[in-house]
Structure 1
Amino acid sequence: MRNILRDVRDFHKKFGLITQDTPIHLTRRRLHERVECLQEELSEFNEACQQQDLEGQVDALIDIIYFALGTLVMLGIKPKLFSRLWNDVQRANMAKVRGTTQRGHAVDVCKPEGWVPPQGRKILDNAGYMGYAGEAGAIDDPQL
């Protein structure tokens, strides 16, 4: 399988979009833009679901993944770090059990007694994350 995060990073480099080499915050303005893009794609997915349009559903979901990965690139999450974070979330998810929750879904998964959540902060710290330093320390422009 292709390294999809590397593909999206290449896309960002080609078009002069933000890429970072260590984990860092984006400005609230830039984050708001990313949220808007993700919400637009989620709306397209919802519309495709309403129309039972499988092609539209798949396209919208891939676009959601693309925007989400692009946001990770902008936040300084490189492929090896992404793999460590992904593996940790996967470990935590696989430790859950089938059960019922307050969501009322027919099939759901729950956190069992003793469940250990993902250790994302520890992984980020080990990758050079220095914590939030306020908007002045956040990235907004690819030239910074």
Structure 2
Amino acid sequence: MDGSRSTEQDCGMSTNDALLKQVNISAEDDNLVARFEIDGNIPGSGAYVVGLVAASEDYSSQRRLGIEFMNGEAISFYSFNHSLSAEENYDIKGVEHSGNVITGNFPMSAIHGLSKGHVMTGFSEADGREFQSGVPVTEAL
């Protein structure tokens, strides 16, 4: 799927709710700063997740970095290394959100080991269902 909205319509969100418009990442000190811009607001009820999927060029090594909201409040900030089947949870203080922008200050170690030629895309989920995937990411690393 490209960055467009999934055809699943029964996830409880209207067409314009929290549509992930743009994802930018940059390096600041030892952090990978991910800035998610959404069209609309974080849903005030239910679960909503924004994140990144980062992988080596051949997809043999994959990471999933995410920020989860429940009823409009950030509740989880994590990365998952598929190669190690290991999840690491971070201090929720690393998440900021204001209006339609969500910022996650992930430790750079979350993508440690991926080559310069890695692949990275954004995603969102609503109430446990894929909402969007394959959203292009602008990188400044």
Q: TM-score, normalised by structure 1?
A: 0.23
Q: Higher helix share goes to which structure?
A: 1
The structure where strand makes up a greater share of residues is 2
Rg: which structure is higher?
Answer: 1
